[in-house]
């Protein structure tokens, strides 16, 4: 496979979108419409107790509230909430950055822990070329409540990026990576040209020590 000249990877939550996260928006939307309820939340709480001792990576990968739910129905619901409540909230500055890379002929990829049932319709809405995202495990047409490793968060994000780059023939030195938090550092450290969006003061200090780019994007949407 031929190497791609330049690739721009974009994180979603906190980067393309201001808080709350895409999944929190999805869960709130499902709760408001009584598609999920106390039974699902109790299932998640029990699953978290079983997962003790906890870590941020474990918490991110645990999707017990979806266990047993039909894949096709929830993919349709995911597409619905992206169109209604998520895509309209994408930061204007993020859309401008995506447009700038597109005009330069760069390949644009989402690199995010956001679940596939949400990341895929968001990528379509933004005309993104490809995605590296959280993949939900399925069995017999239903979700198991688990994600397929590596889940793209923290070290898992770096592992997923490394794997994708190897499979796609991408030179990570010829990439730009956009992210917003400490959990993006393992991916940033693989090379390329990191741009850190709206970092906290301690993170901004570290980013500037590394010589990376800092971007301050408002929450204004298109």
pTM above 0.75, yes or no: yes
Decide if 129 contacts 108 (C-beta within 8 A).
yes
Indicate if the pLDDT at residue 104 is higher than 90: yes
H or E stretch covering 213: strand 213-215
Indicate if the pLDDT at residue 76 is higher than 90: yes
Higher pLDDT, 130 or 192: 130
Percent of the chain with pLDDT over 90: 80
Higher pLDDT, 40 or 123: 123
Taking alpha carbons only, the member of 139, 153, 165, 155 closest to residue 189 is: 155
Higher pLDDT, 26 or 191: 26
pLDDT digits (tens, 9 = 90+) for 28-69: 999 999 999 888 877 777 766 666 565 566 666 788 899 999
Return the structure tokens found at 81: 């909430």
pLDDT the model gives residue 1: 40
Give the integer Cα–Cα distance in Å for 179 and 181: 6
Give the integer Cα–Cα distance in Å for 53 and 97: 39
Give the integer Cα–Cα distance in Å for 131 and 122: 10
pLDDT the model gives residue 41: 76
Please compute the mean of the pLDDT values over residues 97-101 and round it to a whole number. 97
pLDDT digits (tens, 9 = 90+) for 153-181: 999 999 999 999 999 999 999 999 999 99
Q: What is the mean pLDDT of the chain?
A: 91
pLDDT the model gives residue 179: 97
**Residue 124: Cβ within 10 Å count:** 14
Q: What domains does the chain contain, in order, with CATH numbers?
A: 7-215 (3.40.50.1000)
């Amino acid at each position: 496979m031929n190497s791609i000249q330049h690739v721009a990877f974009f994180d979603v939550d906190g980067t393309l979108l201001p808080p709350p996260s895409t999944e929190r928006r999805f869960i709130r939307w499902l709760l408001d419409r009584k598609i999920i309820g106390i039974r699902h939340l109790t299932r998640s709480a029990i699953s978290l107790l079983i997962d003790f001792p906890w870590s941020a990576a474990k918490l991110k990968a645990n999707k017990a509230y979806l266990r047993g739910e039909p894949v096709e129905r929830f993919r349709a619901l995911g597409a619905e909430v992206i169109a209604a409540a998520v895509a309209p909230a994408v930061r204007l500055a993020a859309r401008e950055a995506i447009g700038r890379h597109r005009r330069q002929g760069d390949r644009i990829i989402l690199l995010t822990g956001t679940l596939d049932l949400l990341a895929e319709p968001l990528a379509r809405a933004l005309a993104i070329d490809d995605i590296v995202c959280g993949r939900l495990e399925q069995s017999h047409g239903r979700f198991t409540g688990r994600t397929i490793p590596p889940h793209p968060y923290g070290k898992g994000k770096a592992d997923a990026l490394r794997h994708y780059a190897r499979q796609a023939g991408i030179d990570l030195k010829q990439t730009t990576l956009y992210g917003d938090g400490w959990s993006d550092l393992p991916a940033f450290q693989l090379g390329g040209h990191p741009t850190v969006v709206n970092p906290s003061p301690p993170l901004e200090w570290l980013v500037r020590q590394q010589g990376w780019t800092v971007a301050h994007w408002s929450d204004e949407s298109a």
